[in-house]
Amino acid sequence: MKKYYKLTLSAGLSLLFLSFFTACKSDDDFATIDESKNGQLELKFENGFEGVGGIVLNATIQRSDLGQYFNFSTLKYIISNVELIDENGQVFSYHYNNPDKGAFVINQENAKANIVYVQLKDIPQRKYTKLRFGLGINQSAYLMGHDGQAKFWNEAKQQGMTWAWASGYIFAKLEGKYGQEDAVTPYKNHTGNMGNVVANGTADLYRVVELNLPTSARVSSKIKPSIHIMANLNHYLSGEKKLLLDKSNDNAMGSSPYMVDVTNNLSKMFRVDHVHNNEAPQN
């Protein structure tokens, strides 16, 4: 018993020393940042329920603040216009208003170990402290027409993120079942703009999300940072405005007042959990 205790203590001290050594690496241990060159960066989106964990489609059930049970059979949303803000306040815009190169569908069906990966290339080598992105596609990009976004439009269409009866993108597609005792009644909530919101006199559901990074993302020739973003889908019905699914809204599409509330809730569901600065860039 004493030998086991000594061995465990020794191993514990070794692990503690190793953790301390790793945590105390100085900037000299990282590659020198050369702002004349570009690097790579990765975004990792993890969809889940706070207090429950990752979402398994058709299986994971959550209870809203108003006591309603619900799940997801479909969980998809579009992000675009990624911007990185460095320690000096400089902003790098990643293919801004260019959906073909800078828009992505975050589809829970494609999650690997509950994570959907987005790879960004040609990122200036800097230390970034903030992240911004759009939830949906803004009007300036949409009004470029088909020629300016044919590639992404076709991709979004294949993934069911465009309207079948109107021109425009679906920004977030939430489908599943709900109920007061159990999740049994089907629902479909699709947020997004249909055409020109000014000409149509409809609400613009595009939202900009800005997140602080707990540690800087250090893009360099030898480091490809990985920013781990948590999306807490509790916000869907239990966000800033508490929502209740019923017959009046369980098949809601577009930009009705209810969908404005859903959009505002979803825009607050993101936070950066951590940043990894130990990923090696891929050639």
Based on its alpha-carbon atoms, the radius of gyration of the chain, rounded to whole angstroms, reads: 22
- Give the E-state strand segments of the chain in sequence order: 38-49, 53-54, 62-63, 69-70, 74-86, 91-93, 104-107, 115-124, 127-135, 172-179, 185-191, 207-218, 226-232, 251-254, 270-276
Give 31's pLDDT tier (boundaries 50, 70, 90): low
pTM over 0.85? The answer is yes
Instruction: Give the tens place of pLDDT for each residue, 193-235.
Output: 999 999 999 999 999 999 999 999 999 988 999 999 999 999 9
Encode pLDDT of 98-136 as tens digits. 999 999 999 999 999 999 999 999 999 999 999 999 999
pLDDT over 60 at 10, yes or no: no
Residue 26 pLDDT more than 60? no
According to DSSP, the residues that pair with 139 across neighbouring strands are none
For every residue of 185-206, DSSP letters joined together read EEEEEEE---S-HHHHT-----
Which residues neighbour 26 within 8 Å (Cβ) at sequence distance 6 or greater? Answer: none
| pLDDT higher at 5 or 253 | 253
Select the more confidently predicted residue: 24 or 234. Answer: 234
155-180 pLDDT tens trace: 999 999 999 877 899 999 999 999 99
